[in-house]
Amino acid sequence: MGLFSMNEAEWWDRFGTLNNRVWEYDPYINSVIRSEYLTEMQKFLYKPGGKLLDFGCGTGWFSMPFALQGMTVDAIDNSAEQILRGKELALKYNAAGIIFTFDTDIPSVQNHYDAVLLHALIHHIPIHDRINLLEKVQRVLTPEGRLYIYEPIFQQANPPPPALVADLVMGGIFRLMRYLARYAHLYAPDIRAAIQDGWTMRSPTEQPGTLDQLKRLLPAEMSLVSVQAWHIWSINYANFCMMLRPNWRKLFKRGLPAFYKLDRWARGKTWSPYLRCWPCVSLKAHKKG
């Protein structure tokens, strides 16, 4: 059995293009909030002439730079619509080294990949399948092969007062912005129609775990190299900006550096894992030799 639910696949086939238009951002937004962690990811996973597996690849745009630098990339996803769009992007950028495959499971090959990328995937996998997923990852990795995970994390229990206050303040700000965008008609027309149809940025089954739960998924054959907190509120703000009409997007994007600076301040606090907004972290690990 594959590692995705059918409802998840159907959701991505239906809303994938809209979701990706928001999630992929524009060059300015990416430069503000993604340049640091994408640089870290590429330095950690890149191996000249090596092989990389991008499981749950979507359109493959996170792993396509590796193919453009000479790595062989196997990009696998359970959404036919996403795979089709990924192939179109590969042709557009002449990324001959990336091979897109429609599948629901990791290839059954051992010691085959020098690197594996799981980018915002695990919280889309049913909880009872997550250990199985990481076991399969360690089997396909070569000795000393590297794994990069980027994931939102769920609120840890018993949040301290600073986390409660931050949730209250920032939650209020985002509710006010969404109210303004809805009733002042700031959303792009197709976004407004999708929202009225029940669309949100969250798929039907996604469910993050806590940071401790995420760490415990790593098999004994793998060593955790580091954990790095990244995005807290800036992702939500960037998504909001991408939903707006172009003229309003241009205006609201001016506030993005402030949100990212706020993230930098908050992610160093001991209470950041207790926030309700699904902060995003990266885990770097390698397979023991």
Domain 6-156+205-232+277-287: which CATH number of 3.20.20.70, 3.30.1490.20, 3.30.499.10, 3.40.50.150 = 3.40.50.150
What confidence score (pLDDT) does residue 3 get?
Answer: 60
- How many Å apart are CA 158 and CA 146, to the nearest integer? 34
Alpha-carbon dihedral of residues 236, 27, 40, 115, nearest 10 degrees?
100
Tokens of 104: 């629901």
Q: For residue 69, count CB atoms less than 10 angstroms from its CB and return exposed for 0-12, middle for 13-18, buried for 19 or more.
A: middle
Strands of 153-279 (E only): list them: 222-229
Q: How far is CA 38 from CA 162, 185, 216, in A?
A: 29, 34, 24
Walking along the chain (289 residues) 10 residues at a time, the average pLDDT comes out as 62 80 92 95 97 95 94 93 91 93 90 95 92 96 97 94 97 96 96 87 88 96 96 96 97 97 94 95 95
| Residue-range domain boundaries for the chain | 6-156+205-232+277-287
Residue 146's pLDDT is: 98
Residue with tokens 């993005």: 256
Q: What pLDDT sits at residue 91?
A: 94
Q: To the nearest 10°, the Cα dihedral for 269, 267, 259, 28?
A: 160
pTM score, whole prediction: 0.93
Q: What is the pLDDT of residue 1?
A: 42
Q: Output the CA–CA distances (angstroms, integers) from residue 244 to 64, 113, 192, in the order listed.
A: 27, 40, 9
Task: Please give the Cα distance from 135 to 204 (Å, whole number).
Answer: 25
